[in-house]
Amino acid sequence: MSILAAGIDPAPITAWLTLILVGFGIIAGVTAAIALLWRMVALPQLRGIVNDKIAEIDERLDASDVAHSVGIARVHDRIDKVHLRIDGLRP
């Protein structure tokens, strides 16, 4: 008992294989379209939002550094005035 290739109709197998390959092609096309739209539309918008937030954080840090420096300068000014009074000199 042997199976001969001549006894198998290749049309249904070819149809199923074609259907599966077309399905994979559609899935790949949709995935590529989503990736392209993500890269062209969403990613630049996200980069803009992140850059704006980073700039805002940098401004806050700069303001904090300036406030800290001004506070230290005031403390040093008071210390200098106290030393001048202790030494008997007028500020």
For residue 1, pLDDT over 50 is answered with no
For tokens 């230290």, the residue is 72
Task: Tell me the two tokens of residue 35.
Answer: 């990736």
The CA distance from 48 to 82, in Å, is: 51
Q: What residues does each domain of the chain span? A: 11-86
For residue 74, pLDDT over 50 is answered with yes
Q: What's the pLDDT tens digit per position in 24-69? A: 999 999 999 999 999 999 999 999 999 999 999 988 888 888 888 8
AA identity, residue 24: F
pLDDT the model gives residue 91:
54
CA dihedral of residues 10, 16, 22, 24 (deg, nearest 10): -120
- Using an 8 Å Cβ cutoff, are 91 and 85 in contact? yes
pLDDT the model gives residue 83:
74
